[in-house]
Structure 1
Amino acid sequence: MASFIKAWGLVIISLCYTFFIAKLVPKGIKRLILIFPVVLIFFIVPFLISSIHILGITAFFIAWLANFKLVLFALGRGPLSSNPKPLSLPIFLAVSCLPIKIQPRPKPPNSHSHGGFGPLIYTIKAVFLVLLIKVYEYNNKLPEKVVLTLYAIHIYIALELILAATAAVVRAMSDLELEPQFNKPYLATSLQDFWGRRWNLMVTGILRPTVYEPLLQLFSVLGPNFSQFPAAFGTFVVSGIMHELIFFYMGRLRPDWKMMWFFLINGFCTTVEITIKKTINGRWRIPKVISRVLTLGFVMVTALWLFLPEFNRCNIIERALDEYAAISTVAAEIRRRVTASLL
């Protein structure tokens, strides 16, 4: 808790400095230079935390998303600059350090992706996640690929719950409508659909203006039909680097670059897919059922091969289970003391 308060206290102070610098300095290179020390601080902040859960969230929220947002903000772009009216300090802090983006136009009532069943669905997923954690106690009795597949399910559900909970808290405190974080990735009909329109939309929304669009402009000499290929591949490269960084924070181990290869392979295949689509130009399409199986199958096979083994190498699941056990012990002790005091 002490390390958490120290790390996030530093984050809040740094963002307050950024907020007031923006009031004094117009967008451009000068503002970027003045904000750059905050970017460096945000790369250091995860090293101040020891808890694997808080560390992973902080690395994702701060070292990656917040830093990219601040670079865009310095240049007058991105979620911190795209609103018609300047953000108040509390909203600026929330949008900066949390994976949220304010909707440009409020959605009509009852338009959320899960409809009125949203709370129930999230409750079911939370219960399923608890059951999944219990299954990890039998890791030694399960085949390795089965355990890695459980990791993949765990990642999706945990990310969805964390991001949805974060958005719900901000929505309740600010009365703002926020963009969804996932769009049913299990229904993706292509790699382009999976990575660009369904999986972790906050990351997609940040990578597009910080990496994809600048590269698209850089390679514009190739023409509009070809410049998006290196731009798309370059975006996967940056995503791979940031994932390697996050797992370096969590494992403190020298990268073996398998995760990077996961994104390089998916990036290459996505650009090939885009090329084929342009060549065919809608003249022939694979049935949706087959394309969904092929898409998820490809992502899962490459993840089982390159991405998910990183959890074992960094001993992340075992450390997470130790934290769950510690929390359970503390909770039991609190209950015992409360009961004793009442009696």
Structure 2
Amino acid sequence: MESMEAELKSLTQVWITVLVCLTYCYLISRNIPKGIFRLISVLPIIPIFIILPLSLTSIHLLGIIGFFIAWLANFKLLLFSFNQGPLSSPSISFVHFISIACFPINFRQNISPKTEKSISQNPGSSSLPSFFIYAVKGLVIVLLIYVYKFRQYLHPNFIIFLYCVHIYFLLELILIVTAKSVQFLLGLELEPQFNNPFVSTSLQDFWGKRWNLVVTGILRPTIYQPVQFICASIFGKRWAQLIALLATFVVSGLMHELIFYYFGRVRPTGEVFSFFVLHGVCLAVEIELKRCFKNRFQLPPLVSGPLTVVFVLVTGAWLFFPQYLRCGADVKSLGEYAIVAESVKGLIQKWWGSFS
């Protein structure tokens, strides 16, 4: 109980620091024009946001704060320095500025009918069906937590597969709950976070249109587009696109290494970084093959879909999850679930006792 109280105190201090820093950023936008001087004014905030998660110990809080603040908020502030990105609207209010900076959300921009149709097919786009879908995913997570008790009887690769499902469902639930809460409180129309990644038909489809669209939306203007612009005049448009693609995956790999460092405070091994570099290279090869064959020799979706999912799972088991296990994130997260379960059980018993 004391450790929980200490963690909540640290979490409160973290959010107070974040709010003070973002208030400072909002105020300088009214006095310092976009460009190098605003960037210099924002730069001191970057290391503060990177250090903040180190004051926490909970795996779940570390993951959330590391992802929301150390990664997304920092990248949004870099775009904000040059009056780009979701924080750049001249009419943005203070509350909207803080909310968009803190949380993995973005306003839904003008989109084509084709994109709107794709979004409408996402379970998160219709409230009633999505409630049941996310409720089922929550129940699956609860079931998985129970299944983990019998890990010694299960094959290690099957356990890693269960971790894949667990992390995907948990990440999706965290993002959708955050987005829906902000949408309810502020009345914003927000872009979706996922678009059924398990039905991807290619790596390009998986990474570009379906998996964690919040990250895709922030990496594109901060890494991909600037690198492509710089390299276009040196290497030509075609090579510039590939270099920008690889640079984007390199940065994503580095940021994931940072998140994993938060989890266990252990020295990075480079496996997580290698996972993203490998996928960047494979995606570049895929794009070039499509260009060479001009989409004349495409595999049917019934073949390319499973191949894509299997490739992601196999490379994840090979490079992504060893570091996850090495830093003890699985054991720590299960311990936190046990603490929460005991707390809920105690509250129920107390509530039930008051009526008996």
TM-score (ref. length: structure 1): 0.95
Aligned-pair CA distance for 1:139: 1.2
Q: Name the counterpart of 1:200.
A: 212
Aligned-pair CA distance for 1:13: 1.1
| Residue 222 (1) aligns with residue 273 (2) | no
| Residue 274 (1) aligns with residue 287 (2) | yes
Q: Name the counterpart of 2:151.
A: 139
**Runs of 5+ unmatched residues, structure 2:** 1-7
Cα distance in structure 1, aligned partners of 2:193 and 2:206: 13
Q: Structure 1 residues 174, 112: closer, same or farther in 2, change over 3 A?
A: farther
| Residue 30 (1) aligns with residue 43 (2) | no
SS in 2 for 1:225: helix
Q: Name the counterpart of 1:68.
A: 75
Q: How does 1:1-343 map to 2 (within 5 A)?
A: 1-81=8-88, 83=89, 85-105=90-110, 111=120, 113-114=122-123, 115=126, 116-220=128-232, 221-341=234-354
Aligned-pair CA distance for 1:43: 0.5
CA contact (8 A) 1:148 1:309 kept: no
CA-to-partner distance for each residue in 1:295-336, whole Å, 9 max, x for gaps? 111111110101012221011111111111112222233334
Give the aligned CA root-mean-square deviation in angstroms: 1.8
Cα distance in structure 2, aligned partners of 1:92 and 1:112: 30
SS in 2 for 1:290: helix
CA contact (8 A) 1:43 1:63 kept: yes
Cα distance in structure 2, aligned partners of 1:339 and 1:129: 26
CA contact (8 A) 2:157 2:317 kept: yes
Segment drifting more, 96-105 vs 235-244: 96-105
CA-to-partner distance for each residue in 1:278-304, whole Å, 9 max, x for gaps? 111122211111111111111111101
Segment drifting more, 153-162 vs 331-340: 331-340
Q: Which amino acid aligns with 1:306?
A: L
Cα distance in structure 2, aligned partners of 1:228 and 1:32: 26
**Runs of 5+ unmatched residues, structure 1:** none
Cα distance in structure 2, aligned partners of 1:149 and 1:265: 20
Cα distance in structure 1, aligned partners of 2:309 and 2:353: 53
SS in 1 for 2:104: coil
Cα distance in structure 2, aligned partners of 1:242 and 1:124: 30
Aligned-pair CA distance for 1:59: 0.3
TM-score (ref. length: structure 2): 0.92
**Number of residue-to-residue matches in the alignment:** 341
Cα distance in structure 2, aligned partners of 1:185 and 1:263: 17
Cα distance in structure 2, aligned partners of 1:168 and 1:342: 34
